[in-house]
Amino acid sequence: MADFVSDFWSYYVAILTVASIIGCAVLLKMMTTRKLAPEEKVDTTGHVWDEDLSEWNNPLPNWWRWMFYITIVFALAYLLLYPGLGTFKGNFGWSSKGQYDEEVNAADQKYGPIFNKFLQQDLKAVAADPEAREMGQRLFLTYCSQCHGSDASGARGFPSLRDEDWLYGGEPEAIKASITGGRNGIMPPQAQVLGEQGVKDMVHYVVSLSGRTHDAKAAAAAKEKFTTICAACHGPEGKGNPALGAPNLTDKVWLYGGSEATIAETIAKGRTGVMPAWKDFLGEAKVHLLSAYVYGLSKQGQK
């Protein structure tokens, strides 16, 4: 309700809500006040099923009718105490945001000292602490598993965090920087630069870098173009550049898939990857703990 850009909508909602409740009460009264004389017969509603099964127009039983009245009274009392009439906050002044803030503050007071204890420690030391790993796992499952998987093994377009292949570096501080500020990875499309045949040749050259079976003639034709177009990011030997997030092409780790068709799609159309920043949402202490957990997942962190 706080998002209204004009007072009109607040009054509109309030009037419509109150009018609807009053209308329900009036309708209920109209439908239950008429009493039949002893000699009168109850009319039917005109609905008939199976030739002789008629629906009688009897008034509601008193217990049922009073349940409706109690519901109406409850609705009016609720709207007086809690928000529901436009921007009126209710006599209790309750709001979902206020309740959320109170719960967050209570949680911070209870768990904040524990997070701050680990914040004062080196990331490698935190990664080796069993209590910290358990807390980090819960954070990971809550905030990271949707993309990287519950076991952190990744998915198409989302890197595995369990190996030693890191786009931006696998040192503790590099991992923390990725989680803190996020990452934006861009592979520009090269279809217009290389042409259709050039893309096919480049696929074979990229495949050759990791020692896979390839067309040597096509790879040779693309080698010079790789040096002039691709080496600026991936390096002259194709080993990548962590400063740019450019992947290593000499290993057999593929973020979007390593088939020739997928590599061709990546070269021709490019890729855009986004890792959201978590600093403002989680805070420094939780980011520190989560970074240590992710570091500990990799083989490098287990050494």
d(CA 4, CA 21): 23
Say if residue 300's pLDDT is above 60: no
Name the pLDDT band for 35 (thresholds 50, 70, 90).
Answer: low
Predicted confidence band at 301 (pLDDT cuts at 50, 70, 90)?
very low
pLDDT tens digit sequence for 83-136: 988 888 889 989 888 999 999 899 889 888 999 999 999 999 999 999 999 999
The CATH H-level (homologous superfamily) assignment of domain 185-275 is: Cytochrome c-like domain (1.10.760.10)
Which amino acid, residue 272? T
Q: How far is CA 36 from the centre of its chain?
A: 61
Give the homologous superfamily in CATH for domain 107-182+276-302.
Cytochrome c-like domain (1.10.760.10)
Residue 61's pLDDT band (boundaries 50, 70, 90)? confident
**Domain boundaries along the sequence of the chain:** 7-33+41-81, 107-182+276-302, 185-275
- Looking at every residue in the chain, the average pLDDT score rounds to 90
* Domains 107-182+276-302 and 185-275 fall in the same CATH topology: yes
Q: What's the pLDDT at 36?
A: 61
Q: How sure is the predictor about 209, in pLDDT bands with cuts at 50, 70 and 90?
A: very high
292 membership: H or E segment, kind and range: helix 284-297
pLDDT at 1 over 90: no
Alpha-carbon gap, residue 231 to 145, rounded angstroms = 33
